[in-house]
């Protein structure tokens, strides 16, 4: 473990050695800025940052000409085991070898900055414990919503408040696709094709469109907001592949837009407060601040007891924005190294129960194609009543063969709402439940 370096205000302390793991889009940008902005960063840290090595999988790939060739190595394990590295930046992603490298880096006395949402959502506890054991920092602002400061606000700015609910648009690909469907009226497949053509969706878009990426971020947010350990297995997850042009139209008719939301909330149960974390498409009113988040932008909307409603908005991905978040963390943990201190660690003292989606309180929008004959409305209304679900608004449209009932419920347990929808599908006079989607952000 390296000794605590000394410093002075002019940035002239002993240089801190920085190792970079991964040199893709984000890594290249981080390395480039570490070199280009070295003088300015030294002032901000109180000591120069010296890029000591860059671990890559393939040494023969063409690299940014500004980066010294002799920094590159394929021996990531060797780099983090050197023992003289002060800060390790991990932008490889995925579970292994990232986890092993981070743990090795910490064991060797480095502070760690990571953008790895999948690993944090899978196993943050192991990383936190390893960092605490050696009195080093584990920072991960870039893991949630790219350049948007949300980890630090939750960990520090709101540390004196009680967060009640977080609604996040935390995946740019799905927001781009849903925004395109809203703007053009196109279907999901067409909008996804367009997103891929423009580079907003990957060739294999599964992690984004099935909600895995957003679910990782939901786990991280819920853990920070509620001082409770939450992992991706605790997060209910539905992607956007089933969202249809009809859903988007139906949303529009009631003054809403469809967004993929990561929702983390505190729920008061008879047994005391608990936590729910879920990712699914939802309709939100046009007037909600999240409704105007367009294209691939991200935004996180926080409701807390004292602060009220806050929103954080910005680019949620991309090389430069993610590099901004990574370098903000690098400056913070490097400053801490200079002073021989560490920032806040894991906070899980609340240990709240994480509830199943069935116990979350939601409201549904349901569009039902029905036979237009006497007694239909009564029968449908009865189905809702049987599950204790109260109807907020009902609209009947069309006639003859085309009759449709559009119903918005009051808040109820999600289990009761989904059971109602299942029961509706079984009714003789119901031809089809053409749209069933949760509604959020409605007062």
- Active-site amino acid positions: 217
Q: What SS3 class is residue 229?
A: coil
Restricted to residues 342-361, the positions that interact with a copy of itself (CB under 8 A) are 342, 344, 347, 349-350
Distance CA 322, CA 64 (A): 18
Does 93 help bind a copy of itself (rule: CB under 8 A)?
no
Q: Does the annotation place 340 within a ligand binding site?
A: no
Does 127 help bind a copy of itself (rule: CB under 8 A)?
no
Q: Does the annotation place 319 within a ligand binding site?
A: no
Restricted to residues 156-175, the positions that interact with a copy of itself (CB under 8 A) are 156-162
Distance CA 139, CA 333 (A): 8
Asked if the bond preceding 97 is cis, omega within 30° of 0, the reply is yes
| DSSP sequence for 286-308 | TTSGGGG--TTEEEEEEEETTTE
Distance CA 388, CA 420 (A): 9
Contact 200, 239 (CB under 8 A): no
- Residue matched to tokens 């394990």: 77
Q: What is the separation of C-alpha 56 from the centre of its chain, rounded to a whole number of angstroms?
A: 26
Minimum separation from the CB atom of position 361 to a copy of itself (A): 23
Q: Which of 220, 237, 207 is nearest to 117 (CA)?
A: 220
Q: Does the annotation place 117 within a ligand binding site?
A: yes
| Sign of the CA dihedral running 343, 120, 207, 362 | negative
Beta carbons within 10 angstroms of residue 216's beta carbon: 28
Minimum separation from the CB atom of position 412 to a copy of itself (A): 30
Our CB check for a copy of itself shows the closer of 264 and 291 to be 291
Our CB check for a copy of itself shows the closer of 175 and 304 to be 304
Q: Which of 108, 231, 332, 404 binds a copy of itself (CB under 8 A)?
A: 332
Does 50 help bind a copy of itself (rule: CB under 8 A)?
no
| Sign of the CA dihedral running 162, 217, 29, 200 | negative
Minimum separation from the CB atom of position 13 to a copy of itself (A): 14
Return the range that interacts with a copy of itself (CB under 8 A); candidates 29-37, 232-240, 267-275, 381-389.
29-37
Minimum separation from the CB atom of position 313 to a copy of itself (A): 4
# residues near a copy of itself by CB under 8 A: 59
Strand runs (DSSP E) across 150-211, as ranges?
163-169
Restricted to residues 288-327, the positions that interact with a copy of itself (CB under 8 A) are 289, 292, 304-315, 318, 320-321, 323-327
Distance CA 347, CA 188 (A): 40
Our CB check for a copy of itself shows the closer of 311 and 415 to be 311
Return the range that interacts with a copy of itself (CB under 8 A); candidates 52-60, 95-103, 144-152, 397-405.
144-152
CA–CA distances in Å: residue 302 to residues 75, 79, 180, 225: 42, 40, 26, 10
Minimum separation from the CB atom of position 202 to a copy of itself (A): 21
Return the range that interacts with a copy of itself (CB under 8 A); candidates 6-14, 166-174, 251-259, 423-431.
6-14
Q: Does the annotation place 151 within a ligand binding site?
A: no
Our CB check for a copy of itself shows the closer of 25 and 421 to be 25
Q: Does the annotation place 23 within a ligand binding site?
A: yes
CA Rg value for the chain = 24
Contact 187, 201 (CB under 8 A): no
Our CB check for a copy of itself shows the closer of 180 and 368 to be 180
Our CB check for a copy of itself shows the closer of 141 and 179 to be 141
Does 147 help bind a copy of itself (rule: CB under 8 A)?
yes
Q: Does the annotation place 27 within a ligand binding site?
A: yes
Q: Which of 11, 22, 172, 205 binds a copy of itself (CB under 8 A)?
A: 11
Distance CA 370, CA 409 (A): 18
Q: Does the annotation place 88 within a ligand binding site?
A: no
Does 255 help bind a copy of itself (rule: CB under 8 A)?
no
Q: What SS3 class is residue 145?
A: coil
Does 433 help bind a copy of itself (rule: CB under 8 A)?
no
Q: Which of 1, 6, 8, 40 binds a copy of itself (CB under 8 A)?
A: 40
Proportion of the chain in helix, strand, coil states, percent, rounded to 5: 40, 25, 35
Structure tokens at 125: 């506890």
The residues binding a copy of itself (CB under 8 A) are 9-11, 29, 33, 37, 40-41, 43-44, 141, 147-149, 152-153, 156-162, 227, 289, 292, 304-315, 318, 320-321, 323-332, 335, 339, 341-342, 344, 347, 349-350
């Amino acid at each position: 473990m390296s000794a605590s370096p000394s410093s002075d205000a002019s940035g002239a302390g002993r240089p801190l050695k920085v190792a970079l793991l991964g040199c893709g889009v984000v890594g290249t940008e981080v390395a480039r800025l570490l070199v280009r902005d070295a003088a300015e960063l030294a002032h901000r840290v109180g000591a120069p940052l010296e890029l000591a090595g860059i671990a890559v999988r393939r040494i023969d790939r063409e690299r940014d000409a500004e980066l010294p060739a002799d920094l590159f190595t394929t021996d990531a394990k060797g780099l983090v085991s050197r023992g003289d590295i002060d800060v390790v930046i991990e932008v490889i992603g995925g579970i292994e070898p990232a986890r092993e490298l981070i743990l090795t880096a910490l064991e060797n006395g480095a502070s760690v900055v990571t953008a790895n949402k999948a690993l944090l959502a899978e196993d943050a506890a192991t990383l936190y414990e390893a960092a605490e054991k050696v009195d080093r920092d584990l920072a991960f602002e870039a893991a949630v919503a790219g350049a948007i400061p949300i980890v630090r606000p939750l960990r520090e700015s709101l540390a004196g408040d009680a967060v009640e609910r977080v609604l996040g648009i935390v995946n740019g690909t799905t927001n781009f696709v849903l925004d395109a469907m809203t703007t053009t009226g196109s279907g999901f497949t067409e909008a996804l094709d367009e997103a891929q053509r423009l580079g907003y969706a990957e060739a294999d878009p599964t992690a984004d469109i099935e909600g895995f990426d957003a679910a990782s971020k939901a786990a991280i947010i819920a853990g920070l907001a509620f001082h409770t350990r939450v992992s991706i297995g605790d997060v209910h997850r539905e992607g956007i592949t089933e969202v249809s042009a009809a859903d988007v139209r139906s949303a529009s008719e009631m003054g809403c837009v469809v967004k993929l939301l990561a929702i983390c909330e505190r729920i008061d149960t008879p047994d005391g407060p608990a936590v729910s974390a879920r990712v699914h498409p939802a309709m939100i009113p046009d007037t909600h601040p999240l409704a105007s988040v367009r294209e691939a932008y991200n935004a996180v909307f926080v409701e807390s007891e004292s602060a009220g409603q806050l929103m954080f908005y910005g680019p949620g991905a991309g090389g430069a924005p993610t590099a901004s978040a990574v370098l903000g963390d690098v400056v913070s943990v490097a400053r801490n190294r200079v002073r021989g201190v560490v920032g806040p660690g894991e906070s899980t003292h609340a240990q709240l129960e994480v509830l199943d989606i069935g116990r979350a309180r939601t409201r549904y929008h349901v569009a039902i194609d029905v036979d237009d004959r006497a007694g239909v409305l009564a029968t449908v209304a009865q189905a809702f009543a049987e599950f204790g679900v109260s109807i907020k608004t009902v609209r009947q449209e069309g006639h003859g063969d085309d009759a449709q009932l559009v119903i918005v419920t009051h808040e109820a347990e999600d289990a009761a709402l989904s059971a109602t929808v299942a029961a509706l599908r079984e009714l003789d006079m119901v031809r089809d439940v053409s749209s069933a989607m949760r509604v959020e952000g409605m007062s």
